[in-house]
Structures are given as C-alpha cells and as structure tokens.
Amino acid sequence: MIDIKFLRENPDAVKENIKKKFQDDKLALVDEVIALDKRNREIKTEVEALRANRNKASKQIGMLMAQGKREEAEEVKRAVAADGGKIDELSAEEKEVGEKINTIMMRIPNIIDPSVPIGKNDEENVEVERFGEPLVPDFDIPYHAEIFERLNGLDLDSARKVAGNGFYYLTGDLAQLHSAILAYARDFMIKRGFEYCIPPFMIRSNVVTGVMSFAEMEAMMYKIEGEDLYLIGTSEHSMIGRYIDTIIPEKALPKTLTSYSPCFRKEKGAHGIEERGVYRIHQFEKQEMIVICKPEDSMMWFDKLWQNTVDLFRSLDIPVRTIECCSGDLADLKVKSVDVEAWSPRQKKYFEVGSCSNLGDAQARRLKIRVDGENGKYLAHTLNNTVVAPPRMLIAFVENNLNEDGSVNIPEALQPYMLGKTIIK
C-alpha cells in the first residue's frame, strides 16, 4: 500500500505505475481516492472548528451562569448541543470515508522499482543469470512421481482417499531426504547469520490483509470456519505479522530471520493440481528467509537473499538461473521480484523453485511496523525469499542426481543429514 500523501501529490505517477502493471481498470481508483481524501480533510477541518467553538461556548456558559444570566446560558447550551450532534454526524462520516479510502488504497498497486522490466505476464519475465552447467544424461529420466514411487517413497492414491487431490504421503528414504534438505537449509541459513524461528501456522485476518493483496488472499488462503484464523500460505505471513504495530529501535536493524513451516494453499484456478505428482499441491513444507531493514538497505538485502538460494542449490550441484519478474507478473505489494529456477534434465528446461521479493514499505504501512531513528520514526522495509520448498525441490534434486539404474546420489554436503547414506536405491 502506497502513502496517500504520495498519491495526493503525484496522481499521474500512480496512474502511470498502474498502466505499467496493465491494470487499467484501477485507474479510476486514483481519482476516487483523491475525492474521498479531499472530503476527509474537509470533515476534519469542520470538526476541529466545531470543537473549538464548543470549548469557547463552554467557557461562555460558565461566565453567564456566574453573572446570573441563566436564560442566555441555556441558549448557548442549546447551540453547544446542536454542535455536538453535528460533530457526531461528521465523525461517523469521517469513519466511513476513512474506511472507503483504506479499502481502495489496498487495491492500488505499489510503485515498482525503475529497474523492473515492463511486461504483461510471466511469459515476458527476463532471464538474468545462470549458475552451473545444465546437463542432460544419455538415458531417459522418468516423470518425478514415477521416480519417487520406484524408490517406495510416494503414495498418492492413499492420500487422495484420505484428503483428496493435491496431497501426498512421503515414506522411507524419500521422506528422510525431504527432512534432510530442510535441516540442511536451516543450518545453511543459520551459518549465514540468520536467526532460526518456528512461527504460528495460523494468523488472524488483520495480519493476512497486512501481508498480501486481496487477490492473493482469495486465491491462496484457507480460512478456519467459525474463527478469525487462516492457515498460512508461507511462514513470511506470520513472521512479518510478528512485528505488527511495533516500533523497532534503528540499532536493532536489520532483522534477519529464517523460518520453517508447513504451508497450505488453495491453488485456486491453478493448472496441474490434478496431475499425478507433487509439483503443485495444497500442502508442503518450506524454509524461508525474511529481512526487516532500513529503506536504504533493502535493495542490498534483496540481492543477498536471492544469492543465498542460488548458493544453497549450487552446494548440492543443482544448476539454477535467476529470472527477473516483469511488471505484470508482480503481486500488487511487490516493488521488485526475482525467481530462482532449477534445471530439469527431464524437461530440458528450468522451473521455479523459489521467489525473492522486496515489498518496500507496503507491508510495514499496513501493519504499522515503524523504526525509531535518530531523526524520528519511519516505516521499515520488508523482504522475503524461499530457501527451499520441498517436495518441489525434491524434483530438482532427484532429477539432477539420478543414475541410469534408478538410484539417486546424495551429495557430500547432505550426507551427514542422511545418516551417512551416499545413495538411495
């Protein structure tokens, strides 16, 4: 959510930003907010004047009563009562107008960074850099679900009976590998100076609307029936929510955190949820990284975050590349975003395994996360990035470490987390 003062003073810039995101249906919202904001400020001025008159009249009543002028005092009292009724009426209108402004402002997209490429959708995202040599073996690589099942590690049929499509059982060595990757990712981030955290897996609605757009909320979040609680789609939601309505001393920044959680997503409208596999699913686990920092440091941290993911995948000998998300592919709260994609030898192409986002002060504005600095208070910047998200990451891992006989090599870095195993058969 952008600053209403910025919108008031730069309506054309806000409209141009909306056009860059190909959301022309939202252009009228800018003029609507400006009109409502004008009325809101008019109400405030009128209420302040009425309250000043009321205070002045109250003193006048006391003076008239002291002088024995009861009738005149009663007449002033009636005027004060009328002003009081008008104040109540205007205050109610002010609240209504304020709520309308807030609702509309939450629909207006954040101002994107000038470096973001302009494009309508993910087909116009731009490759930035490749890391590692993508290789294709001289034998056919089966579909990932087939590989997993041959390793006696995946049971989709039972999961479908128990919970429906989009769920899975992982068993045996594959389940151990899943947990090993998460543990390795946790330690990898701790060694890089990030504080480890396990957050709540449910959050209240005010946190949901603070960390994501309405469109994302509708497409992703599962609501707990009868309660003001939602299952998290990623630990970023509850990790950023941890600082709701807080003032952080500037010397305590940056906050660099890495968190584990299960994640739950509707994947509403998503293609592939019916496929026999674990690429797009309703439930998965993830190691995340979150940074809360000073505005001038956020782009530096943005580059550090995506580099952490690249380094982790390369430590496991998985080739990856970074993709700059174009304007039309950015969620409304994001200033800039880079996806990390892993190489798939089976598909002979890269696929997404993580996303790094700089949200500027959008989440901080919604959640009132402020910093107490030398020159006063200001809004923090927030960033997040995926470390690893198995079982999707398992697909990249198994395909890139598969042998012709169906066995899977365990890279040296991961062997201590697999109780010394060097291969899965």
Mean pLDDT of 35-53: 88
User: Do 50 and 155 belong to one domain?
Assistant: no
Check whether 269 has a pLDDT greater than 70: no
pLDDT computed for residue 136 by the predictor: 93
Domain boundary among 79, 105, 131: 105
User: Do 68 and 137 belong to one domain?
Assistant: no
Domain boundary among 74, 105, 136: 105
User: Do 81 and 131 belong to one domain?
Assistant: no
- 110 within some domain: no
Print the domain residue range for 43: 4-105
pLDDT computed for residue 373 by the predictor: 94
User: Do 84 and 16 belong to one domain?
Assistant: yes
Q: Which residue has the tokens 């940056």?
A: 254
User: Do 80 and 173 belong to one domain?
Assistant: no
For the chain, give the percent of residues with pLDDT over 70. 94
pLDDT band per the 50, 70, 90 thresholds, residue 192: very high
Q: Which of 131-145, 211-225, 265-279 has the lowest mean pLDDT?
A: 265-279
Mean pLDDT of 4-8: 94
Q: How far, in Å, CA of 217 to CA of 366, rounded? A: 15
User: Do 340 and 276 belong to one domain?
Assistant: yes
User: Do 84 and 161 belong to one domain?
Assistant: no
pLDDT band per the 50, 70, 90 thresholds, residue 206: very high
User: Do 100 and 132 belong to one domain?
Assistant: no
pLDDT computed for residue 68 by the predictor: 74
Give how many domains the chain has, as a whole number: 2
User: Do 396 and 268 belong to one domain?
Assistant: yes
CATH of the domain at 173: 3.30.930.10
Check whether 74 has a pLDDT greater than 70: no
pLDDT band per the 50, 70, 90 thresholds, residue 267: confident
- 117 within some domain: no
User: Do 241 and 205 belong to one domain?
Assistant: yes
Residue 269 to residues 264, 277, 328, 373, Cα–Cα distance (Å): 15, 17, 18, 44
pLDDT computed for residue 214 by the predictor: 73
User: Do 170 and 293 belong to one domain?
Assistant: yes
Q: Are 305 and 80 in contact (CB under 8 A)?
A: no
List pLDDT tens digits, range 326-338.
999 999 999 999 9
Check whether 200 has a pLDDT greater than 90: yes
- 236 within some domain: yes
User: Do 126 and 100 belong to one domain?
Assistant: no
Domain boundary among 105, 136, 168: 105
pLDDT band per the 50, 70, 90 thresholds, residue 76: low
pTM of the model: 0.89
- 209 within some domain: yes
- 115 within some domain: no
Sequence-distant (≥ 6) Cβ neighbours of residue 355 within 8 angstroms: 325, 337, 338, 339, 340, 385, 386
Residue by residue, DSSP assigns 38-90 as HHHHHHHHHHHHHHHHHHHHHHHHHHHHHTT-HHHHHHHHHHHHHHHHHHHHH
CATH of the domain at 15: 1.10.287.40
List pLDDT tens digits, range 302-321.
999 999 999 999 999 999 99
- 111 within some domain: no
Check whether 147 has a pLDDT greater than 60: yes
- 388 within some domain: yes
- 381 within some domain: yes
pLDDT computed for residue 302 by the predictor: 98
**Rounded to 5°, angle at Cα 362 from 356 and 368:** 125
Q: How far, in Å, CA of 294 to CA of 155, rounded? A: 46
